[in-house]
Chains A and B, each alone.
Chain A
């Protein structure tokens, strides 16, 4: 007999099993996707959408993203085992077997397509499926281990929920959702590279060519700064394109200034060869607040003008 991983044999409580399956979907990432979807729907509707449509869109989007994340864990279980940050994921510990995870992912995707297709509309269902395919095939299977632009291109999948939110309301795409898509797309690299600066050694050990692994800190922080400036500019365009008022405009200006100040500080220290891991983590955490508040302010802008 070949010795197998020990972790698979002992029985588990049903609760632990449920927790393991939930962990497969990476709920923290999904949270972020939903944060951008709801305000997009409010902007598209020019007010609150119906509760049924709102919930079904969020449920469908959650299932699609959860399925995509499950496939990602299935495919990445070899490198997840090497990296400190991911070594406790359910497929590494054996809480869920690879086949079980694969079946679970397929179930989620089928459910997502049906919920969106029947409960919302077909274009949203196809967008959800396309985002999954992109994340799994283009990002996870192809680019992640080969290109240092992996996260730049892969980020497109994480930006699709705004398209789904928009089409759920209007049935077709327009310039506003494309612009919102672009903001999240451009936001992803600085957001993720800030994290990768902190977990650089992890990615190096796993042979994943994340920017901070293959490029110098100077180069990485320069790229972070460039993306931050572009993101700032795009966020300022939302006001005129979506006809929002100064409420959003001022918010975007302040948030963008704040974000770029953090990115600039990181860049400045890197130029004098100061590795600022704490600063990078601060920027990573702020990037989440940034995106959340930016989108919430879009919804606030619409809602206060109508009530």
Chain B
């Protein structure tokens, strides 16, 4: 034993606060990367109003899908009713934040007769999708697109979440790629109501 050992006080004081350093650096790296990538890819994950989408102006069509109770549903969901389609999945992180927002928006009298329909795309099971919608207080009808093929072939859905506004004539009027905001939902409603 060297003499330096005697000068130290080997008393256990719980975990050293030094462990916070890698935690802080790691978190800082992660958040700057997430924000950096989100910012740089903004045109694609896009926020606001006029996303140029090849879908806009086309007639919406969707393969027949079962709803969560198993009944088959085709578009238009209700003939002559403007509809907002919300594509989501329980495993998609941004959807966890988005769906409750859509649910709050829908239930507070902002819809002016516009129908909201959820499409659980590529989710593992009907019960998973149901639980996810229930947790988000999303009470609108939810269709179950088991392997996501209907979403991708009919609406070019290339990532979740996506939101599509369809007017009373069944024409797609707007596409929001990425999490939809309340302001965007209001804009959609006034566009198609």
- A residues with a Cβ closer than 8 A to B are 45-53, 55-56, 59, 63, 103, 106-115, 117-123, 167, 169-172
Contacts and interface: CB of A to CB of B under 8 A. Distances in A.
Given A51-B44, A109-B26, A115 B152 contact: no
A171 B33 contact: no
Contact of A110 (B22, B41, B148): B22
Interface in B9-60: 21-23, 25-27, 29-31, 33-34, 37-38, 40-41, 44-45
15 contacts: A50-B158, A50-B159, A52-B38, A52-B41, A55-B37, A103-B22, A106-B22, A109-B26, A110-B25, A110-B29, A118-B34, A119-B34, A170-B91, A170-B122, A171-B89
A171 B30 contact: no
A169 B147 CA distance: 11
A106 B41 CA distance: 28
A59 B27 CA distance: 14
B21 A110 contact: no
B26 A49 contact: no
B143 to A, nearest CB: 17
Contacts, number: 99
Contacts of B21: 103
Contacts of B124: 171-172
Interface of B: 21-23, 25-27, 29-31, 33-34, 37-38, 40-41, 44-45, 89-93, 122-124, 148-149, 152, 158-159, 177-178
Given A53-B159, A55-B41, A171-B92, A46 B22 contact: no
B26 A119 contact: no
A293 B161 CA distance: 32
Given A111-B25, A122-B93, A172-B91, 8 more contacts: A50-B44, A50-B45, A63-B29, A110-B22, A115-B34, A119-B34, A120-B93, A171-B90
Contacts of B22: 103, 106-107, 110
A170 B149 CA distance: 12
B123 A171 contact: yes
Contacts of A108: 26, 29
Nearest to A110: B26
Contact of A119 (B93, B122, B152): B93
Contacts of B90: 171
B37 A56 contact: yes
Nearest to B90: A171
Given A45-B158, A48-B158, A52-B44, A114 B26 contact: yes
Contact of A123 (B33, B91, B158, B178): B91
Given A48-B158, A109-B26, A115 B93 contact: no
B37 A119 contact: yes
Given A55-B41, A59-B33, A59-B37, A106 B158 contact: no
A47 B157 CA distance: 10
Nearest to B152: A46
Contacts of B31: 114
A30 to B, nearest CB: 15
A192 B92 CA distance: 36
Nearest to B28: A111
Contacts of A172: 91, 124
Given A108-B26, A172-B124, A52 B45 contact: yes
B30 A115 contact: yes
A266 B93 CA distance: 49
Which residue of B26, B92, B122 has the most chain A CB atoms within 10 A of its CB atom?
B26
A106 B26 contact: yes
Nearest to B147: A170
Given A171-B89, A171-B90, A172-B91, A50 B30 contact: no
